[in-house]
Amino acid sequence: MSESSVVKLNAANLTKLPATVQVPAYDRSHLFAGTVHIGVGGFHRAHQALYLDELLHQPDAPRWGECGVGLLKSDSRMRDALRGQDCLYTLVERGAATQTARVIGSMVEFLYAPDEREAAIEKMAAEQTRIVSLTITEGGYFINDATGAFTVDHPEIEHDIEYPTQPVSSLGYLAEALDRRRRRGLKPFTVMSCDNLQGNGHVIKRVLLEFAGLRDPELQRWIAENVTFPNSMVDRITPGTKPADIESVRDRFGIDDAWPVVTEPFLQWVIEDEFCNGRPQWERVGAQIVADVAPYELMKMRLLNASHMAMAYTGALAGYPLVHEVMQDEVFAQFIAAFMEEVTPVVPKIPGVDVNEYKMTLMQRFANPTINDQVTRLCSEGTAKNPKWVLPSITELIAMGRSVDLLSVVIAAWIQYLKMGVDELGKPLDIIDARAAELIAVAKTVDRDPRPMLAIESIFGPELVHNAPFVEQVTRAMESLAQRGTAATLSAYVAKSRRS
């Protein structure tokens, strides 16, 4: 597309965009910020903000928009990008054969809290705000990975307890805004976590109540009695925006967008209907409103998230940089399919959900060649991920007397990944983990016996290291990976799983 035909994205230029690009068909000037969202990144803009945009296209839907809030210094980039284009942005959905672009208009304001602290607090404290939602990553909940306890001695928490009207943490902002509503006699807002955490509503409730108790027991009691914290399950693969994505949006769709979002066609949101001050009717645009999110979470963690771990460490060892490249290798694709079959006995049965269809959809999503999701991203923070996504399946399957052969390969591949530090082509591996130095040091002591790693109780628990059959399975898998290579190992294990 020629440079002269490229249109700068802003409200005044919406009518100048190509007809192939969907734009807001509603009057954005009439929107009110019923939701304040903390942590505006790519995932939120590809997920929750999209649902709201879809709902706003319903002719009789309330004009419920949202205000984004950035708490981190690094959020200045998002502020500049969004404010420079009237909080509009391009969402590109890329499938294997097609891609589409639409402009999302549901965000009406963005506040940069480091420079606009009081405005951000007052926006949350305002009566029209019904929900404050969060995508702040696991670190934003101040939970010690090893103990599960709330980190009361974190510098941000200590600061926010001492200076409650000048918060820097998400918990500090939530508590101060809720306290102002309490003192003003206003109804509270619902606190809704959209982070990829099991029982995310329970998690944010626990840490906010603990924080509020340190600040003011009366505030803690009021929150406990009046605020709701719905659990939700979110799913959409959304890699970070790369310079090539910005160029692609310019060249293919003629849009000059400072920070577009590129995502897959698949989209899922399962929400518990626990809202203390109203909510949008997300179910009208595809969200699932349920009484209990837990079974959906468990299915996702044991099939999608665990499969990510399986392809991450085996793919990294084999030298694949991109997820779809792993899945284009027939040996690896067969291994992931067999891996999901091994895990299926501990996947909950959900009325109306076809698990086999879900697994086939996952295979298609993993193989999508247009998303360019990086293997390094999947490998990162294995210390936090594996205890949630892989190890529970191992423990439960062992208790049921079922096979954990392929799960053992994943654990062996993780140990090998940490131990070797390079892939099979000799290229250095970029190991990203909060406990990387500790894990690498332990992994390097492993020869044939994986027990030095399995003895890390904060990761593997107290029992697996003493389970002789499991230790032997991991040992055999490690030996095979070291001697035969990843592809040959996976091929042999797939063949064995088919015979059994």
Write the DSSP symbol of residue 304: I
- pTM comes to 0.92
The predicted model gives 302-325 an average pLDDT of 97
What residues does 271 pair with on adjacent strands? 232, 289
pLDDT at 2: 63
The predicted model gives 191-209 an average pLDDT of 96
Write the DSSP symbol of residue 150: B
pLDDT digits (tens, 9 = 90+) for 124-152: 999 999 999 999 998 899 998 778 899 99
Q: Which residue, among 24, 192, 11, has the nearest Cα to 106 in the 3D structure? A: 24
- The rounded distance, in Å, linking the Cα atoms of 307 and 301 is 9
On the CB side of 342, CA atoms within 13 Å amount to 31
Q: Note whether 316 and 379 are within 8 A (CB).
A: yes
The predicted model gives 158-162 an average pLDDT of 97
- The rounded distance, in Å, linking the Cα atoms of 132 and 180 is 14
pLDDT at 131: 98
pLDDT digits (tens, 9 = 90+) for 99-131: 999 999 999 999 999 999 999 999 999 999 999
pLDDT at 145: 75
- The rounded distance, in Å, linking the Cα atoms of 482 and 135 is 39
Burial class for 291, CB neighbours closer than 10 Å (0-12, 13-18, 19+): exposed
pLDDT digits (tens, 9 = 90+) for 236-289: 999 999 999 999 999 999 999 999 999 999 999 999 999 999 999 999 999 999
pLDDT at 144: 87
Q: Which residue, among 171, 210, 211, has the nearest Cα to 191 in the 3D structure? A: 171
- The rounded distance, in Å, linking the Cα atoms of 314 and 473 is 16
pLDDT digits (tens, 9 = 90+) for 201-222: 999 999 999 999 999 999 999 9
Residues, the chain: 500
Looking at residue 23, its amino acid is V
* pLDDT over 90 at 169, yes or no: yes
On the CB side of 77, CA atoms within 13 Å amount to 8
The predicted model gives 367-379 an average pLDDT of 94
- The rounded distance, in Å, linking the Cα atoms of 229 and 344 is 30
Residue with tokens 């210094």: 73
Residue with tokens 């929400």: 271
Tokens of 424: 């099979």
DSSP string, 482-494: HHH-HHHHHHHHH
Q: What is the mean pLDDT of the chain?
A: 96
With residue 94 as reference, give the H or E element that holds it.
strand 89-94
Burial class for 425, CB neighbours closer than 10 Å (0-12, 13-18, 19+): exposed
* pLDDT over 70 at 16, yes or no: yes
Within the chain, how many helices (H) and strands (E) appear? 23, 13
- The rounded distance, in Å, linking the Cα atoms of 216 and 152 is 15
Write the DSSP symbol of residue 38: E
- The rounded distance, in Å, linking the Cα atoms of 32 and 290 is 27
pLDDT at 391: 97
Residue with tokens 């592809």: 487
382-389 and 306-318 helices cross at what angle (nearest 10)? 130
- The rounded distance, in Å, linking the Cα atoms of 386 and 414 is 9
Confidence of residue 59 (pLDDT cuts 50, 70, 90): confident
pLDDT at 225: 98
pLDDT at 476: 98
pLDDT at 282: 98
pLDDT at 47: 98
pLDDT at 5: 87
What residues does 65 pair with on adjacent strands? 33
Q: How far is CA 104 from the centre of its chain?
A: 20
